[in-house]
Structure 1
Amino acid sequence: MNLPLENTLFQSLPIPWLLDPHGLRSFPGPFLARFSDLWLGRVAQQGHRSEIVHALHEKYGTFVRIAPNHLSISDPAALQIIYAHGNGSLKANFYDAFVSIARGLFNTRSRAEHSRKRKIIAHIFSQKSVLEFEPYVKTYVQSFMEQWDRLCVAGAKGLQGNDGEGGWRGRDGRVWLDCLPWYNYLAFDIIGDLAFGSPFGMIAAAKDSAPVAKSQEQAISMYGQGDSKCDTVSIPAIKILNERGEYSAATGVLPLWLRPVVKRYIPWYSRGSEAVEHLAGLAIAAVAKRLSSPAYRVDVLSKLQDGKDDNGNPMGREELTAEALTQLIAGSDTTSNSSCAITYYLASNPNVQKKLQKELDDALANEDDPVSSYEVVKNLPYLEAVINEALRLHSTSGIGLPRIVPQGGLTIQGHFFEEGTTLSVPSYTIHRDREVWGDDALVFRPERWFERDNQAIQKTFNPFSYGPRACVGRNLATLELLVIISSIFRRYEVVLEHPDRPLETREGFLRKPLSAGLG
């Protein structure tokens, strides 16, 4: 039986280097990466892929070979070539590792299927539609701040909480806490309500817990009958989401033939595979519960139900559940990670925080609602610069997203790459390009957004990816960050508990802060 090249043992032997089918032998990179995908697999599993690839670009320059058939290119101009509309590039088999219930908008590799899905989904996240979601966002931001107000009062009395509440404690008239769990609770409750019709209740419980179907088969059967009464158990959804992201990102760079082997025999991969199943069960149980209710409400799920492709066909139930799960994954981790990183950078730069607070006080002086209105804050220049600067340094997705060169090839900086070559541009690295951002590119300084060449910045800044496969939820993410950050910093003064500690991260598909101790 003849298998495609990417499916065989071929990629893990010296043969690719000897034959050099894609003309990559002359490009520098780690020795093992010339012969095997295992080098990148190990790097991805360790959780610091973006930093390691960035160090290689610092050492070798623009082009770095990180696998037998994968070239990382740290040229901002390459974004418009590799990820452009209409160039025919396809997603690599990296994305197969992210499929659970069914292929969704994010992980489908077929151009035709992606086009069909995007036509159904894109209007859901148009600016007009996203504004309909604002009341839901504000409701949970209000609940979030009520919890923090409660902790501030308790902290001022010298009390302390438990680990489920971020291990908060009162000292020196302040409350000290890790803000990351709280931002996780907030993001999960928002997207849970939007994607599944009801929140997970994490803010109120101050706990990482969500119901998941005990048996996917039973849940699917119940779901098909419109019955939500399937057996469920509670899982730590945030923890499992993190495990799933790390597993899929590490598995996706391995050859296809090796993936079932590591999943069966290596415990780390086995746990990650179980996390994939748990998240699928969560989505199945949540959608089953929602669709059993006759009440109609305007949210992501209702709009997914109403959407139709060019032939007038709606999504099937399995596809609907898969897309709801995609929105849960994409809309929770990105918001919580970004909110935490922005808060960290503002806490570590008190002068920036004060400047932002003055802008917020001036703009919101006549607003009685403690939760900011998107309409009021959407055009605040310093707020936007603060958010963008944090997203630059803490790229939500910092890895280079792999694309397969289409028929006819691509040319980048005078190098011609043949059809079938895998190329990527790492956001983490181009966001630190000194030619674009200046000699202080590693420093958090929002003022650079008013000083630098705006055209070069716009071509390099890549927090939501680029081209036809860019993040469809960008408008919702922007609304959430503007409302969350403006509301929090209008109300609270935040400092770091340990100012000398950098923001530690661990990377799966996304770069996630490990903690952020604040007072």
Structure 2
Amino acid sequence: MDLGRQAHFAALDTLGEITLGRPLGFVENNADQGDFLKINDAMLPILITISNYSPVFKLTRIWPLKYLLPRVGDDVGLGAVLSFTQSSIDERLRPHAKQNKDMLQVLINNGLSREQLLAEVTLQFLAGSDTTANTIALTLFHLLTSPGTYQKLQDEVDAVSTHGANAILPDSVAKNLPYLQACIREALRVQAPLASGPFHKAVPVGGDTVCGKYLPRGTRVSTNGAVYAIGRAEAYWGADAKVFRPERWLEADAVTKQRMWDMVDLMWGGGAFMCPGKVIGVMEAGKAVAEVVRRFDISLVNPNDPAQFRSAMAWMIHGFWVRVEKRKDETVEEKMHL
């Protein structure tokens, strides 16, 4: 299977479960519903190009850009998700409708209007699927291309797994597995899911001096590019800064580890700009990666060319072909008794 594609399918269906109480059918049908991913891949390079030239946005006042944007009623892309979302909202707003345990119900209970509900729910699909899918796929990619790390993580997960249990590992367990969390943190450090893009910060009145360089008021700084550079800087991580080595998170003392943690956490933003889906994204990545290594043995189909990466705001990952074999229960049981 193409693991990058399957991770995206899983992320979109998980968002459907969390937000609307039901998946969107990507995993069940093993298909790109409404060509969502196909259109997403075509849209991101255009979006990042436009975002780098702010004067272009002024054209929206005179140019009918709205006709190129997704709309409710479309059969493909984000428009299809909009249509699905609006039908779900209308169904939930009917008198005496059943209340579900999902984000849509939380938003309804807090008094949001129909238009506000559509905007909030749609944003979760637009902003949350690429980043979460990439976090999962990138972690697995670096595990598979680093000899020994996959096996070491598998051993850690096996030690806390109950033989024969079908239940998913709870977050309370996953977030307390040191090597699992080290693997995810290390993947985010080496290759942040958003390596470039429109998330700029403007220098305030009076300008600012950064690393000895004066930046006048209004200068736009791309925070995504900065996070990517910081994560690979030898000044912070040592001579092996470009090497995926989860052990560095286990070897560091408390003060150093907190500094490392703070640097990687820059990818989520901060303060008023903190990613609202951070907690869910981290939880989903931990549970997904743990379940994959717990249930399957995976190997690369093309070790010399394991995947192709293209940066257009989010990483677009293609050709991440892997061979997947379901683990036998007796193998897991034997390892647990050793």
| TM-score normalised by the chain length of structure 1 | 0.55
- Distance in 2 separating the partners of 1:198 and 1:187: 13
- 1:201 is aligned with what amino acid? G
Query: Who is 1:505 aligned against?
Result: 309
Gap runs ≥5 in structure 1:
1-176, 210-234, 265-269, 308-313
Q: Is the 8 A contact 1:241 1:275 kept in 2?
A: no
| Cα deviations by residue, 1:47-97 (Å, 9 ceiling, x for unpaired) | xxxxxxxxxxxxxxxxxxxxxxxxxxxxxxxxxxxxxxxxxxxxxxxxxxx
Is residue 7–residue 137 contact of structure 2 (8 Å, CA) maintained in 1?
yes
Pairing of 1:79-118 with structure 2 (within 5 A): none
* 1:351 equivalenced with 2:148 (yes/no): yes
Tell me, in whole angstroms, the C-alpha distance in 1 between the residues paired with 2:214 and 2:4: 44
1:384: which partner in 2?
181
Partners of 2:27 and 2:306 in 1: CA distance? 27
Match of 1:430 in 2: 230
| Counterpart position of 1:412 | 210
Select 1:478's aligned residue among 270, 279, 282. 282
Root mean square deviation, CA, Å: 2.6
CA–CA separation in structure 2 for the residues paired with 1:497 and 1:468: 43
Q: Decide whether the 8 Å contact of 2:194 with 2:315 is kept in 1.
A: yes
Aligned to 1:493, the other structure's residue is in SS state strand
CA contact (8 A) 1:184 1:332 kept: yes
Is the partner of 1:501 in helix, strand or coil?
A: coil
1:305 is aligned to 108
User: What's the offset of the Cα at 1:416?
Assistant: 3.8
Does 337-346 or 378-387 show the bigger shift? 337-346
With over 3 angstroms needed to count, the CA separation of the structure-2 counterparts of 1:477 and 1:273, relative to structure 1, is farther
* Structure 2 residue identity aligned to 1:237: F
Structure 1 partner of 2:127: 330
The aligned length equals 306
Give the corresponding residue for 2:48: 249
Q: For 2:137, which of 340, 344, 366 is the aligned residue?
A: 340
C-alpha contact 1:179 1:516 (8 A) present in aligned 2: yes
**Would you say 1:198 and 2:22 are equivalent positions?**
yes
What percentage of residue pairs aligned between the two structures are identical? Answer: 27
Cα shift readout 1:389-446 (whole Å, capped 9, x = no counterpart): 1111221112273111222432323444332222234211111011111111111110
Secondary structure of residue in 1 paired with 2:209: strand
CA distance change for structure 1 residues 397 and 246 in 2, over 3 Å: closer, same or farther?
same
What's the counterpart of residue 368 of structure 1? 165
Cα pair distance change 1:356/1:336, threshold 3 Å: same
Contact 2:4 2:137 survives alignment (8 Å)? yes
Q: How many angstroms apart in 1 are the aligned matches of 2:102 and 2:37? A: 22
Q: Does residue 282 in structure 1 map to residue 80 in structure 2?
A: yes
- CA distances 1:314-342 after superposition (whole Å, capped 9, x unpaired): 43322221111110122211121221111
Q: SS at the partner of 1:460?
A: helix
Distance 2:291 2:222 in 1: 37
Q: Which residue of 2 aligns with 1:292?
A: 90
Match of 1:441 among 218, 235, 241: 241
Question: Which stretch has the larger CA shift, 503-512 or 325-334?
Answer: 503-512
Q: Which of residues 250, 259, 263 is equivalent to 1:456?
A: 259
- 1:396 is matched with 193
CA contact (8 A) 2:16 2:24 kept: yes
Q: Cα 1:305–1:410, aligned 2, differ >3 Å: closer, same or farther?
A: farther
Q: Secondary structure at the match of 1:292?
A: helix
Partner letter of residue 175 of structure 2?
Answer: K
Aligned to 1:86: none
- 507 and 260 in structure 1: CA distance in 2 versus 1, 3 angstrom threshold: farther
Contact 1:344 1:496 in 2 (8 A): no
Distance 2:306 2:86 in 1: 43
What TM-score does the superposition give when structure 2 sets the normalisation length?
Answer: 0.82
